[in-house]
Structure 1
Amino acid sequence: MPPLRHEVDIRPAEAVANLLDPRGDRVTSVIPPGYESYVRILNPIELRDGSTISWTETVSRNGFKPHAWMQWPEFKASNQIDFWREPEMGNPPISLVRHLIEALQPDRSTHYFASWAGYATEIQEPTVEFSPYHREMVLYTGNLVDEDDSPLLPTTATGRVPMYWWPSDLRWLLGHDIYARSLIVGCSEVSAQRILADPNLDAYAVKGSDKVLNEEF
């Protein structure tokens, strides 16, 4: 698909930013409060043969109990899997994005997207500050499905998947930080159950009051 369209009118992004909890260390600092459900989805790990493996499967293989707030340092220290590349930070892989779009079941209307202005060659203005780490975000618009309702990969001109996506009615919203190896979705209970039931998504239910650890190490 063509790159997302840059928007100068940033009021839709301001509306989201104003809903975020300014305390800066809770799920509701990343995704606004008020959703029925919140889900954390972990970016997969790439193995040397080119395949991927989930954090959950890797942790279970090594005799540990997986949990919703697994972090890469503790995971890396305890696992014995010969991985090739660490999970992406701030840029979920295409496979995850496609399955997530299918689970969210977006319509064909225009959606909003926000991406960090600090990425190389990213558009620099106008911007809106998003908590929890006061990132300056640029607003884009585009679609998530085509005329056949097939998933469309949302990317900016830099080729990156934006950090935030949401429909105009905010019935769901997903977001994460530039250093995050996972993303968080706020949505209805029905949508959350679809995400959690998808075997291709390494997902866990979390609470709005849960603390989100800074993944910048």
Structure 2
Amino acid sequence: MTVTHTWSYEGTELAWLRAALAPSDDRPGHVVAELVPGGFAAYLRIFHRFEAADGSGRTRRWRDLAQESGALFHGELSHHRLRGADGPDGRPLWQPVDGEPDAGTRQALVRALTGTTGGRPVFFGYDLALLVRGADGPAVRSSPLDRLESVRADMTESHTYLVGPEFWWPQDRSWVVTSDYDLVSSYIGCPAELAERILAEPGIEALPVTLRTRVDFSSDHLNRPSEM
């Protein structure tokens, strides 16, 4: 007998957030409004760094690869437009981290956000990344922001190869970070002052975006393959 589970947010801390996200429409692609609630003064795309495919732990930034590729560095840039990410034989030399920010970006983001949240608890939500692993429902953990890595370790111990968290937000809901499990960038909605702090943080590569900015891999209409 096949048993099916209904994925429900009822009674969870994720319920308000999921209800605040815009549904996908009939237009091609997907936009920031499907990932981050509306109503914030500023929105940013936070680029996950590229990691060396040889496992050496080396990383590179999108802006550098864009410059090498002759591509414009902008809020809808697709990694598929970056030739510097592949070697002469077409095999990837550099791969963008998907599903979650790389370790360096996470640490820098925690630094930038701590000035707003202090030691108050933050919610860390795991959603579709759990669904694809057969979980019965989403999970939310509450912890001080500087305990993010402990939360990640605990969740990974229970669910092998789990990425995330997919959502971070403080109790006052003054900002929301979304790291969709199959995207190569995270997105944040926040006050303007916090956005400026994040943009000024040297450990973070970010650009301003809007709720209508495309987030899918076919979003880049400024860097056409024929122009590269």
- The answer to whether the aligner puts 1:117 opposite 2:99 as a matched pair is no
Q: What is the identity, as a one-letter code, of the residue corresponding to 2:131?
A: G
Instruction: State percent identity of aligned pairs.
Output: 22
Q: Show the counterpart of 2:207.
A: 204
Contact map agreement 2:50 2:59 (CA 8 A) in 1: yes
Give the structure 1 partner of residue 177 of structure 2. Answer: 174
2:65 to 48, 58, 67: 58
Instruction: Report the CA distance shift for 1:200/1:153 in structure 2 as closer, same or farther (over 3 A).
Output: farther
CA distance 1:10–1:139, change in 2 (3 Å): farther
Residues 31 and 174 in structure 1, CA contact (< 8 A), matched pair in contact too: yes
Offset of residue 63 of structure 1: 2.7
CA displacement, residues 152-182 of structure 1 (integer Å, 9 cap, x when unaligned):
5641421643111001111000103211000
**1:42-92 CA-partner distances (Å, limit 9, x unpaired):** 1111235532110111111333221111112222xx226656441221022
Does 2:199 match 1:192? no
Q: 1:198 to 1:81 in 2, by over 3 A?
A: farther
Query: Contact 1:144–1:153 (CA<8 Å) still a contact in 2?
Result: no
Q: Is the 8 A contact 2:85 2:94 kept in 1?
A: no
**Which of the numbers 69, 88, 104 marks the counterpart of 2:76?**
69
Q: Which runs of 5+ in 2 are unaligned?
A: 1-8, 158-162, 219-228
Cα RMSD, aligned residues only: 2.5
Match for residue 5 of structure 1? none
Q: Which amino acid aligns with 2:189?
A: G
SS at match of 2:74: coil
Q: Which of 25, 29, 35 is the matching residue for 1:30?
A: 35
Structure whose alpha-carbon radius of gyration is higher: 2
Structure 1: how far apart are the matches of 2:165 and 2:60? 23
Shift of 1:138: 2.3
1:126-173 deviation digits (Å, cap 9, x = unpaired)? x3xxxxxxxxx3222222136xxxx75641421643111001111000
Question: What number of residue pairs does the alignment pair up?
Answer: 190
Q: 2:49 aligns with which of 30, 44, 61?
A: 44
Give the match for residue 86 of structure 1.
95
Structure 1 residue 15 corresponds to structure 2 residue 24: no
Q: What TM-score do the two structures reach when normalised by structure 1?
A: 0.77
> Which residue of structure 2 aligns with residue 3 of structure 1?
none
Q: Select the residue among 91, 94, 118 that pairs with 1:107.
A: 118
Q: Return the structure number with greater strand share.
A: 1
Residue 157 of structure 1 corresponds to 155
TM-score normalised according to structure 2 size: 0.73
Counterpart CA distance in 1 for 2:76 and 2:165 is 22
SS in 2 for 1:196: helix
